Amino acid sequence: MAINFNNRWVVITGASSGIGRALAECLAKERAHLILGALPGEKHILEGIKDQFQNKYHIEIVTIYQDFAKQGGAEKFYQQCKKLQKQIYCLVNNAGIIAYGYFHELSHKKQEALININLMAYFSLMRLFIEDMIKQKEGVIINISSVSAFQPTPHHAVYGAVKAFVQSLSEAVDQECSGTGVSVHTINPSYTDTPLLKKNNFPDKIWWYRISGLAKPEDIARKAIKAIKKGKRLYVPGLMNTGIHLFLPRLLPRKLSNIIANLVLRQEK
Enumerate the active-site residues.
159
Non-local (6+) Cβ contacts of 48 within 8 A are none
| Cα maximum dimension of the chain | 54
Long-range contacts of 110-116 (CB under 8 A, 24+ apart): 110/200, 111/158, 113/69, 114/158, 114/159, 114/162, 115/158, 115/162, 116/68, 116/69, 116/70, 116/71, 116/73
- How many beta carbons lie within 10 A of that of residue 177, not counting itself? 17
How far is the C-alpha of 159 from the C-alpha of 175, rounded, in Å?
25
Which alpha helices (DSSP H) does the chain contain, by range? 18-29, 43-57, 73-83, 108-115, 121-136, 157-176, 209-212, 217-229, 239-242, 248-251, 254-264
